Amino acid sequence: MPLDRHPVNSLGFAKPQAETRVVVAMSGGVDSSVVAAMLKDEGYDVVGVTLQLYDHGAALAKKGACCAGRDIHDARRVAETMGFPHYVLDYENAFREAVMEEFAEAYLGGATPVPCIRCNERVKFRDLLETAKDLDADCMATGHYIQRKLGAAGPELHCAADANRDQSYFLFSTTPEQLSYLRFPLGHLASKAETRALAAKYGLPVADKPDSQDICFVPEGNYAAVIEKLRPGAGQPGEIVDQAGNVLGEHRGVIHYTIGQRRGLGIGGTGEPLYVIRLDPAARRVIVGPKTALATRTIPVREINWLGDAALDSRGEWHVAVKVRSTRPPRPAVIRPLSATEAEVELLDPEAGVSPGQACVFYDPDSPRILGGGWIWKGR
The residues annotated with a catalytic role in the active site are 119, 216
Q: How many other CB atoms sit within 10 Å of the CB of residue 338?
A: 15
Q: CB–CB of 43/56 below 8 Å?
A: no
Task: Give CA–CA dist 237/289, Å, rounded.
Answer: 19
Q: CB–CB of 50/66 below 8 Å?
A: no
Task: Give CA–CA dist 309/244, Å, rounded.
Answer: 47
At a CB cut-off of 8 Å and minimum separation 6, what does 170 contact?
114, 116, 117, 120, 144, 326
Task: Give CA–CA dist 86/24, Å, rounded.
Answer: 9
Q: CB–CB of 293/243 below 8 Å?
A: yes
Within 92-222, residue ranges assigned H as helices are: 92-95, 101-108, 115-119, 129-134, 176-181, 192-201
Tell me phi and psi for residue 370, to 5 degrees.
Answer: -95, 130
Q: CB–CB of 36/24 below 8 Å?
A: yes
The type of residue at 229 is K
Pairing of strands 359-363, 318-323: antiparallel
At a CB cut-off of 8 Å and minimum separation 6, what does 36 contact?
24, 26, 46, 48, 78, 79, 82, 84, 141
DSSP state of 214: B
Task: Give CA–CA dist 278/261, Å, rounded.
Answer: 10
DSSP state of 220: G
Q: CB–CB of 269/277 below 8 Å?
A: no
Query: Could you give the angle at which helices 30-41 and 192-201 cross, rounded to 10 degrees?
Result: 50
